[in-house]
């Protein structure tokens, strides 16, 4: 009998106590549908499916010959300085003439009407210069508007990610429709549903161990808890938890199933050993 008990104790000691794991799913951190801020014919699509892109990288353009011509025209107008130069020269002459007439008028050498005319001409010349400066400012504003309208014909990437879908092709007409889809792959988002009994035992900032399914069965990773739902789903008796999984080299794909073990469960198992 003692020998049987000894064997049972030995078997119990050598049998590992497994930590509680939960099913989870690896998803992209975010999915972005890219569309133009304008309508027209697609001129170029600069990327291919599965291509990695950086934030700010050009993705696609619409035909924009008219918009480009408008920018060129308004750029030329904004660069014109002749009107301001002529108005400046006229004002300088009018002021010199007024100064000369003022001297003569002070000596009673010219009548008041001549002095008044020179003074008026100087004021008019000053107003012409102000108008020329205002026109140049308006030309700069017109150029800015034209440049913004032209910029609407190009879409750039709002994130560092991967092109996962090309919806439209060059030559197609678009109006508010998505052209392509990007997914942010670093970090990845891990979604898991936990039973209500676990509520309060998992907190943001804690870390958990992930075991990925095929084709990465032998790999384990560490993920950080970033969101814990504050509500319970009554029908299933579960609540959601989101974890952040670093993926700087994009080596991990999204869409993988996984198991997750939380630190609280690991510590509970360790206390049983």
Q: Which has more pLDDT, 57 or 176?
A: 57
pLDDT tens, position by position, 213-228: 877 666 789 999 999 9
Confidence band (pLDDT; 50, 70, 90) for 5? very low
Say if CB 46 and CB 71 are below 8 A apart. no
Output the CA torsion sign for 92, 94, 97, 99.
negative
C-alpha–C-alpha distance, residues 220 and 166, integer Å: 33
User: Closest Cα partner for 57 from 164, 154, 156?
Assistant: 156
Least confidently predicted of 69-83, 89-103, 216-230: 216-230
The whole model's pTM is what?
0.72
| Fold that domain 15-62+163-272 belongs to in CATH | Elongation Factor Tu (Ef-tu); domain 3 (2.40.30)
Confidence band (pLDDT; 50, 70, 90) for 19? low
Say if CB 160 and CB 55 are below 8 A apart. yes
Structure tokens at 17: 């106590």
Say if CB 226 and CB 187 are below 8 A apart. no
């Amino acid at each position: 009998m003692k020998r049987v008990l000894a064997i049972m104790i030995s078997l119990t000691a050598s049998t590992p106590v497994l930590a509680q794991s939960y099913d989870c799913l690896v998803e992209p951190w975010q999915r972005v549908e890219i569309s133009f801020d304008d309508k027209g014919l697609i001129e170029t699509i600069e990327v291919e499916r599965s291509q990695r892109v950086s934030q700010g990288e050009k993705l696609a353009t619409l035909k924009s010959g008219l918009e480009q011509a408008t920018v060129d025209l308004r750029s030329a107008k904004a660069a014109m300085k002749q009107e301001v130069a002529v108005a400046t020269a006229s004002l300088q002459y009018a002021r010199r003439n007024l100064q000369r007439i003022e001297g003569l008028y002070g000596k009673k050498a010219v009548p008041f009407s001549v002095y008044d005319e020179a003074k008026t001409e100087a004021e008019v010349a000053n107003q012409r210069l102000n108008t020329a400066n205002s026109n140049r400012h308006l030309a700069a504003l017109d150029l800015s508007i034209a440049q913004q309208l032209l910029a609407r014909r190009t879409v750039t990437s709002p994130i560092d990610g991967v092109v996962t879908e090309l919806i439209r092709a060059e030559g197609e007409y678009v109006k508010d429709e998505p052209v392509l889809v990007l997914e942010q792959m670093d970090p990845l988002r891990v979604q898991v549903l936990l039973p209500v009994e676990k509520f309060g035992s998992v907190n943001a900032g804690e870390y958990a161990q992930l075991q990925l399914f095929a084709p990465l069965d032998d790999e384990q990773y560490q993920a950080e808890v970033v969101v814990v739902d504050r509500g319970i789903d009554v029908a299933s008796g579960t609540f959601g938890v989101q974890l952040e999984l670093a993926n700087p080299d994009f080596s991990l794909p999204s869409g993988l199933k996984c198991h997750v073990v939380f630190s609280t469960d690991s510590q509970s198992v360790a206390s049983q050993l």
